[in-house]
Amino acid sequence: MLKGFFNIPKAVNEPVKSYLPDSPETVAVHKAYNAMWNEKIDVPLYIGSEEIRTGNTRNMTPPHDHKHIVGTYHLAEKSHVEKAIANALESRTKWANMAWEQRAAIFLKAAELIAGPYRAKINAATMIAQSKTIHQAEIDAACELIDFLRYNVEFMTQIYKDQPSSNSDVWNRVEYRPLEGFVYAITPFNFTAIAANLPASAALMGNVVVWKPSDSQVFSAKVIIDVFKEAGVPDGVINVVFGDPVMITDTILASPDFAGIHYTGSTFVFKELWKKIGENIHTYKTYPRIVGETGGKDFILVHPSSNVKQVVANTIRGAFEFQGQKCSAASRAYFPTSLWPAIKEEMGKELATIKQGSPQNFSNFVTAVIHEGSFDKLAKYIDQAKADADAEVIFGGNYDKSVGYFIEPTVILTTNPKYTTMETELFGPVLTVYIYEDKDWADVLKLVDSTSEYALTGAVFSQDRYAIEEATIALQNSAGNFYINDKPTGAVVGMQPFGGARASGTNDKAGSAQNLLRWVSPRTIKETFVTPTDYRYPFLG
């Protein structure tokens, strides 16, 4: 029973550690990496209070050394998915009725566990599982995840505080109930923070969850599960299943108690999910919430007034950090003819300094792409660009999967602004460049807006305020996160709420109150203190 209007600790962004040589954080992360590299873990399904080992297992291998096995995980059968749903529903009443400050305490504790005792471990796991450099792991698995947890607690209290007006004789209240049923969280490989946030944000608002992580992220998902357990997430609140995504999804979407989906991943899969939910709509007890953050074809548009060094540094970071596998990564760039010779020279010079290899070696800026399917797809597009008359590989273009799935940072120059790699999401370290005539600035704005089906992130570079204003207006529907003189990646929770529209998602802005509102179903309560006893109004005479 609540006996106070409690204040929560003010949410602050977790500072990004620098990992200088021999610093305590560097020593700690190397130690964790070496231990986890050699340990060989076995990850069960987590259903209710049980850890289930089905015996049907798959190996976990780091993308930068795919013959090395760091562990196995167990695959669910249909009966396990049904059991996960049943456990979630059994846990629902108790969890939904738990006072908000208890839920807040659990997730604030999870944030502090990651900031402290689990930091090296969750970073090392992300370096091993997803081949992130230490900096990329730190800004994702540690800082962004901590920020999600802290800010979501703050946003939850803001939502709860949002109450209607009342009169002296009528008291109006709004209660932010969790959804009636369970939430299904499906998460992508590329961010450990997203993997944790999709189930956690729904659970924070009082929902029970079935979570299906990506097959390529199970190794770091295991650390999230350990943190949630230690923080005190009760059994049955977040149930975790691995395995065939179609079987798991079909089983879940057939349940009458399915109340919402929290998805991040590719656009095609999300559209299929939406279709299946529509086909099952007569099955459900409630209209399900559908929240999905999906693909991107993110742009960098450079005005002739731009500073070349700034353009090149931010294009390299935006396109090639984490091997271009951020949904926000720049993958098409528009440079003006007047600046192109200088940009090309500077880019060539800088790209020549980039080192590629295992994330264990901190001097590597680029590592491996996530799996063989991704490697083969990227190699195919690079080969096609080498062969096509309207495209030319001007930097990079080499690839090698003998040890890890290494694709060299690659720049394709095209004379065709609608060339396939200007339109299609490749999800790798491949940037396609189109050079426009300076006088065609207004036309290039229309081109940027109309070239792809996506609208996730985009950046404009210019020192001319009129040009910035023109681009901001002309590209208002081209990106949900629009950057001025900055790279299009690296959104920070509480600072730049993240999400896109068009084919990039429902734009419910992860890391904002708007997202949390999707996981509640408000109930309005009107209480009258002196209730009328006569139906007649004065006007009746």
> How far is Cα 266 from Cα 426, in angstroms, rounded to an integer?
11
Q: Which amino acid is at 202?
A: A
Task: Provide the minimum distance between the beta carbon of 137 and ligand NAD in the complex, in angstroms, as a whole number.
Answer: 16
- Which position's Cβ is nearest ligand NAD? 265
* Number of residues lying near ligand NAD (CB under 6 A): 30
Total residue count of the chain as it appears in this document: 541
Task: Given the residues 14, 293, 321, 346, select the one marked as catalytic.
Answer: 293
Under the criterion CB under 6 A, does residue 201 sit at the interface with ligand NAD?
no
> How far is Cα 295 from Cα 246, in angstroms, rounded to an integer?
19
Of 63, 236, 295, 488, the residue at the interface with ligand NAD (CB under 6 A) is: 295
For residue 238, the tally of other CB atoms under 10 A from its CB is 28
Q: What is the DSSP string of 201-238?
A: HHHHTT-EEEEE--GGGHHHHHHHHHHHHHHTPPTTTE
Phi first, then psi, for residue 214 (nearest 5°) are -70, 145
57 vs 305 by CB, closer to ligand NAD = 57
Under the criterion CB under 6 A, does residue 157 sit at the interface with ligand NAD?
no
Of 225, 327, 379, 448, the residue at the interface with ligand NAD (CB under 6 A) is: 327
Task: Provide the minimum distance between the beta carbon of 79 and ligand NAD in the complex, in angstroms, as a whole number.
Answer: 19
Under the criterion CB under 6 A, does residue 249 sit at the interface with ligand NAD?
yes
Under the criterion CB under 6 A, does residue 455 sit at the interface with ligand NAD?
no
Under the criterion CB under 6 A, does residue 495 sit at the interface with ligand NAD?
no
Of 323, 410, 481, 504, the residue at the interface with ligand NAD (CB under 6 A) is: 504
Of 191, 334, 381, 436, the residue at the interface with ligand NAD (CB under 6 A) is: 191
Under the criterion CB under 6 A, does residue 265 sit at the interface with ligand NAD?
yes
Task: Provide the minimum distance between the beta carbon of 510 and ligand NAD in the complex, in angstroms, as a whole number.
Answer: 6
371 vs 401 by CB, closer to ligand NAD = 371
Sequence-ordered list of residues with C-beta below 8 angstroms from that of 328, at least 6 positions apart, any chain = 296, 298, 318, 456, 457, 481, 488, 489, 490, 491, 498
- Told to judge if 350 belongs to the known catalytic residues of this protein, a careful annotator would answer no
269 vs 474 by CB, closer to ligand NAD = 269
In the block, tokens 């998915």 appear at 81
Of 237, 505, 515, 520, the residue at the interface with ligand NAD (CB under 6 A) is: 505
> How far is Cα 227 from Cα 119, in angstroms, rounded to an integer?
10
Task: With beta carbons less than 8 A apart as the criterion, state whether 31 and 123 touch.
Answer: no
Under the criterion CB under 6 A, does residue 186 sit at the interface with ligand NAD?
yes
Report how far apart, in Å, the C-alpha atoms of 522 and of each of 99, 208, 517 are. Answer: 16, 17, 9
> How far is Cα 318 from Cα 430, in angstroms, rounded to an integer?
11
Query: Is 169 buried (19+), middle (13-18) or exposed (0-12) by CB count in 10 A?
Result: exposed
Task: With beta carbons less than 8 A apart as the criterion, state whether 66 and 404 touch.
Answer: yes
Of 48, 71, 181, 188, the residue at the interface with ligand NAD (CB under 6 A) is: 188
Please report, as ranges, the residues that interact with ligand NAD according to CB under 6 A. Answer: 186-191, 194, 212, 214-215, 245-246, 249, 264-266, 269, 272, 293-296, 327, 425, 427, 456, 498, 500, 504-505
* Catalytic residue annotation: 293
